[in-house]
């Protein structure tokens, strides 16, 4: 089904919602029970993780210090540049995107398009310029601010697209294609309450009518809150006790280019890095996003699918981060396919954009450009081809797990080494 407007074909995905009322897979109410991939992960991790944590505690003592985390975000307790950057400019950018959209009909389509393109471009370049020029912003604070701006960029891009589709449908009087259960129709959605609900909702894809849960479950909300507090403390403890000593001991082998010791340090880092990544996944995609969704009565809780059962690399990237996947599918991949772009070219373009944002979120806060994250993401293309062509079943699933366990510590060590050389060795 498609709609032809001014010789342009708008396929059915532009007209219907992409959200439904559903629970997250790891919630007991979902009824999900296929954890075969997690069992494979347990076997892989068991081989390499015995006694490592206890050895670190015996060798270095207890290094956990929650107060020290504050220094990662702030250099001066009376100067909060990252927080000011997020609060002030995000509020302004939401207004400046809402303003040209709300004025459609009183200003030309070209003028409105120009205004929101300027605003969306500013969303990416202004915060990065601020992070690069202000010495008071720490790398962690800068990365957090840029993550917020990137999320806002994707949300406002979706907001612009959906309202543009609504205008095209409205102009052609295509009322028969409007969903049956619509409660709000264009332009009745152009309110501050609507856009701010979308800004804070745990999704990147805008809709005029989001699925809403009937009530806020207080017991569910408290469980998620407890998980958020517990797992963030656990991540901090593991980073300080396990990862930091391993990274510090890895600098000399990298300086001496001792490849055997470099590989040994990388394997030692792989275990804590991967464990912390898994805890972060549960903390962010299940605990935190479900907490926000429950608080806002946002009904679509599909923030992830069973990526742990991935037998191909493409299946993993399509299922571990559903909000980003839905956004790429709806606002990037399908529009490219609708313009006749080859499927392989469209998939490569998505990896290219993803690689850019990965590098953007790492290099700008560190104030150095090494392209390790960019190359790591682009290397997923040949890896996806190899795994999809030559490996099947448990072999493919094991290959995906190994790439996750080994690939991330390589990038971490590369960036830490370059940051150490740039900021400490060069100064001394």
Which residues carry out catalysis?
358
Q: What are residue 110's phi and psi, to 5 degrees?
A: -65, -40
Q: What are residue 298's phi and psi, to 5 degrees?
A: -85, 120
First to last CA, the chain: 66
Asked if residues 364 and 346 have their Cβ atoms less than 8 Å apart, the reply is no
Residue of 339, 408, 389, 329 whose CA lies nearest to 9? 339
What six digits make up the tokens of 2?
């498609």
Torsion of CA 78, 364, 412, 138, to 10 degrees: -10
| d(C-alpha 359, C-alpha 156), whole Å | 21
Residue with tokens 């010791």: 261
Residue of 249, 181, 253, 257 whose CA lies nearest to 212? 181
Residue of 146, 84, 144, 93 whose CA lies nearest to 122? 93
Q: What are residue 50's phi and psi, to 5 degrees?
A: -65, 125
CA 69 from centroid of its chain's CA atoms: 22
Asked if residues 40 and 397 have their Cβ atoms less than 8 Å apart, the reply is yes
DSSP class per residue in 95-158: HHHHHHHHTBTTB-HHHHHHHHHHHHHHHHHHHHHHHHH-TTB-HHHHHHHHHHHHHHHHHHHH
CA atoms within 13 A on the CB side of 69: 14
Residue of 324, 410, 347, 403 whose CA lies nearest to 373? 410
What six digits make up the tokens of 13?
């995905």
DSSP state of 79: B
| d(C-alpha 191, C-alpha 234), whole Å | 41
**What is the rounded radius of gyration, in angstroms, for the C-alpha atoms of the chain?**
23
Measured over the CA atoms of residue 187, residue 193, residue 196 and residue 197, the dihedral's sign is negative
């Amino acid at each position: 089904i498609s709609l032809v407007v001014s010789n342009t074909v708008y396929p059915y995905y532009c007209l219907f919602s992409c959200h439904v009322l559903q629970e997250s897979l790891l919630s007991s109410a979902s009824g999900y029970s296929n954890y075969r991939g997690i069992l494979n992960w347990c076997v892989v991790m068991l081989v390499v993780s015995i006694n490592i944590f206890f050895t670190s505690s015996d060798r270095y003592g207890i290094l956990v210090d929650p107060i020290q985390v504050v220094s990662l975000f702030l250099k001066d307790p009376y100067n909060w540049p990252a927080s000011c950057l997020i609060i002030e400019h995000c509020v302004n950018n939401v207004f400046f995107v809402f303003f040209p959209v709300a004025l459609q009909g009183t200003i030309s389509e070209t003028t409105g398009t120009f205004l929101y393109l300027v605003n969306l471009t500013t969303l990416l370049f202004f915060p990065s310029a601020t992070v690069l020029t202000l010495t008071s912003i720490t790398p962690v604070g800068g990365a957090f601010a840029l993550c917020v701006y990137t999320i806002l960029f994707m949300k406002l891009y979706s907001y612009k697209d959906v309202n543009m589709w609504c205008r095209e449908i409205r102009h052609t009087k295509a009322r028969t294609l409007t969903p049956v259960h619509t409660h709000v129709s264009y332009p009745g959605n152009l309110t501050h309450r609507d856009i701010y609900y979308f800004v804070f909702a745990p999704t990147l894809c805008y809709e005029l009518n989001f699925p809403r849960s009937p009530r806020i479950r207080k017991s569910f909300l408290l469980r998620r809150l407890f998980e958020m507090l517990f797992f963030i403390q656990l991540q901090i403890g593991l980073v300080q006790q396990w990862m930091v000593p391993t990274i510090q001991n890895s600098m000399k082998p990298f300086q001496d280019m001792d490849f055997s010791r470099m590989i040994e340090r990388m394997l030692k880092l792989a275990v804590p890095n991967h464990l912390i990544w898994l805890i972060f996944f549960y903390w962010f995609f299940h605990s935190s996003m479900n907490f926000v969704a429950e608080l806002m009565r946002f009904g679509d809780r599909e923030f992830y699918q069973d990526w742990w059962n991935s037998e191909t690399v493409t299946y993993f990237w399509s299922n571990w981060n559903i909000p980003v996947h839905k956004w790429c599918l709806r606002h990037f991949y399908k529009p490219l396919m609708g313009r006749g772009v080859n499927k392989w070219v469209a998939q490569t373009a998505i990896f290219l954009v993803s690689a850019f944002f990965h590098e953007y979120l790492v290099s700008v806060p560190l104030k150095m450009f090494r392209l390790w994250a960019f190359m790591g993401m682009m290397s997923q293309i040949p890896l996806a081809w190899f795994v999809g062509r030559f490996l099947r079943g448990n072999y493919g699933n094991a290959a995906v797990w190994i790439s996750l366990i080994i690939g991330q510590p390589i990038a971490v060590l590369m960036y830490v080494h370059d940051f150490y050389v740039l900021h400490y060795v060069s100064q001394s």
